[in-house]
Amino acid sequence: MEEVLQDPEVSKVFHDNEITIDLLSSVTDEILQELIPLVGPRLRIKKRIASYLNSQKENIENQLPELPENEASSHSTATSLSEIDFLSETSFDSYFGDNIDKILYRPKFVDFDLKTILLTTPMGNSILKFYEVNNMLDNTRRGRLVDIIVKHLYKHIINYRFNHDEYTILSAKIIQLFPTEVTATYYVQSIAKRNSASGKHVLAKGRLVDKCRNLIFNCGEAVPLKRKRKAAESSSSDTPEGSSSTGR
């Protein structure tokens, strides 16, 4: 909670009132006014909560294909904290099915030291030595580096995927250890349709993204984060139009 609110005292107030991070979307202006009487601090906290909710929404949008226009328009929205549009609980449930809790309240991957991970494998050692000699990585070493990272976080990937923040953290770890590398080699953030020059959703890209997508596509263990098909749609598609129970 403190990471979101960025204020230890306010975080304590939320904690004392048993407001957990999964309840932030239900915090209204009236509740905020009661919790934080001073206007300035209240506005700052309101802005941080709004930023967090929007980032969660974007993370979810990035994990799944966009709905077709006619279907997307049928999904309801709800407003928590004025001017913050967020998918309603009903809409989330119908779209994400049984995976709603897994997506919304997903844990972050356990932090790790990249150099330590590399030092524990012959392949990782070879990457470090190559960089020490050449002050750069070639495509072969970049591929091996990504392989090691993805293997280390395998369970997290197949259960939760990476979100924007996690891709950013991993890219930063790489750049910190190998300063001549470029972040865009490993991760370029997706662009929402509303912000895209082409008017179309642009998928995230980069070596980390590609490796994770391939892993999920080829891995039978990967937990699907897909929309549940409605029973009515399934039954109607199984019954040919104009079929009759009697015949001659």
* Greatest mean pLDDT range, 4-18, 192-206, 233-247: 192-206
pLDDT score of 128 more than 70: yes
Residues 113-129: what's their mean pLDDT?
Answer: 95
Of the chain, the percentage scoring pLDDT greater than 90 comes to 26
pTM score, whole prediction: 0.51
The mean of the pLDDT values for the chain is 73
pLDDT score of 37 more than 80: yes
Q: 42-51, 78-87, 106-115, 208-217: which has the minimum mean pLDDT?
A: 78-87
Residues 106-127: what's their mean pLDDT?
Answer: 90
Tokens of 150: 């993805």
The Cα–Cα gap between 8 and 150 comes to: 34
Q: Is 36 exposed, middle or buried (0-12, 13-18, 19+ CB in 10 A)?
A: buried
Position 155 scores a pLDDT of 87
Position 215 scores a pLDDT of 85
Residue 239 lies in a domain: no
Judge if 161 and 207 occupy the same domain: yes
Judge if 29 and 83 occupy the same domain: yes
The Cα–Cα gap between 54 and 165 comes to: 13
Judge if 79 and 98 occupy the same domain: yes
Residue 109 lies in a domain: no
Residue 227 lies in a domain: no
Residue 246 lies in a domain: no
Q: Which domain does 56 fall in, by range?
A: 2-104
pLDDT by residue (tens digit) across 148-187? 999 999 888 888 788 888 888 999 999 999 999 999 999 9
Q: How many domains would you assign to the chain? A: 2
Encode burial over 95-108: b for 16+ CB neighbours within 10 A, e otherwise.
Answer: bbeebbeebeebee
pLDDT score of 97 more than 80: no
More confident residue, 159 or 4: 159
Tokens of 142: 């970049």
